Amino acid sequence: MATADCPTGYTVVSGGYTSDGPNTYGGIGEKSHPNSTNTGWVVPTPLDNTPGAAIHAWAICLPFG
């Protein structure tokens, strides 16, 4: 699983991922979602031991109270 957290006091409004290496991880983007507290983004990843493969989650966060 890859995650991206918002700074303290911010709420996630969107997110996504990029992938590096020999595996593009096609199709996992549809399953990405906010975490349970809406303070970050979660990208579930398949079990893949391909050397050099990596997932990087990113989050778009705004200062909501």
Global pTM value: 0.81
Q: Where are the beta strands (DSSP E) in 1-65?
A: 2-5, 11-20, 33-34, 40-43, 54-62
As given in the structure block, the two tokens for residue 62 are 């705004």
pLDDT digits (tens, 9 = 90+) for 4-61: 999 999 999 999 988 887 766 666 666 899 999 999 999 987 766 677 778 889 999 9
Q: Is 57 helix (H, G, I), strand (E, B) or coil?
A: strand
Number of domains in the chain: 1
Range of the domain at 6: 2-62
